[in-house]
Structures are given as C-alpha cells and as structure tokens.
C-alpha cells in the first residue's frame, strides 16, 4: 500500500493538473509506486509497471485557512494586529502636563 499525505502543503492548479509543493501530483504518485524515478519512466525505463484490477484510490483536497497563533506571557492572540492593539492600549506613553496647564 502507498499512502501519500501532505500537511500544510502549497497546492496550485491552472488547468494542467495539480501541483503540490511545486511538483506535479501524477509524478509524485508514480515515484511513490516505483514506476518513475526522476526523468526515467515509461516502457524503455526498465522500471516496473503498476496495474491493479481492484484498487482503492482516494484523493482529498481540503484547503485550510492560514492561521496565526501568538502566545505571550501577556496573553494569546490570533493576529499581529490584535496583539498590537492590546499592547498599545496597555502601554500608552504618559504625557505629563506641566502644573497649572490642565
């Protein structure tokens, strides 16, 4: 059995087949099956063929949102902006007013 699993992969498809982390998925699968090694593939490569009359194949494409997690001693934040907003509120510079000018 061959199982291919990518976590946090970069995927692109412009209509010519999906690329995962800059490599075409069909090439990745062929290499995992041993039917392709680099640029060697096909009948004259002397590599084994793969054939099955009863085979389970599953392809799942599950886009994930990009996330940010910042943990500090002062709290946990889900964005840089959220952290900056809270820190700016806590640490506003003190503006001293000269006596008698209130």
Query: Is residue 35 very low, low, confident or very high in pLDDT (cuts 50, 70, 90)?
Result: very high
**Domain count for the chain:** 2
Asked whether residue 50 carries a pLDDT value surpassing 90, the answer given is yes
- Give the domain extent around 89: 65-93
| Statement to judge: residues 48 and 81 lie in one domain | no
101 domain-assigned: no
The mean per-residue pLDDT over the stretch 38-49 comes to 89
The mean per-residue pLDDT over the stretch 84-91 comes to 75
The burial class, CB within 10 Å (0-12 / 13-18 / 19+), for 44 is exposed
The mean per-residue pLDDT over the stretch 20-48 comes to 90
The two tokens of residue 10 are 């970069």
DSSP H or E run through 80: helix 80-90
The two tokens of residue 23 are 């490599």
| Statement to judge: residues 82 and 37 lie in one domain | no
Q: Where are the beta strands (DSSP E) in 5-102?
A: 11-12, 19-20, 23-24, 36-37, 40-41, 70-72, 75-77
The closest of 96, 74, 99 to 84, measured between CA atoms, is: 74
100 domain-assigned: no
């Amino acid at each position: 059995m061959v199982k291919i699993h990518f976590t946090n992969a970069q995927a692109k498809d412009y209509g010519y087949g999906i690329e995962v982390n800059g490599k075409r998925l069909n090439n990745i699968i062929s290499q995992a099956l041993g039917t392709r090694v680099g640029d060697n593939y096909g009948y004259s490569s002397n590599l084994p063929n793969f054939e099955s009359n009863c085979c389970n194949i599953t392809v799942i494409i599950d886009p994930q949102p990009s996330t940010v997690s910042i943990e500090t001693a002062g709290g946990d934040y889900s964005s840089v902006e959220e952290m900056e907003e809270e820190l700016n509120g806590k640490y506003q510079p003190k503006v001293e007013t000269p006596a008698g000018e209130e």
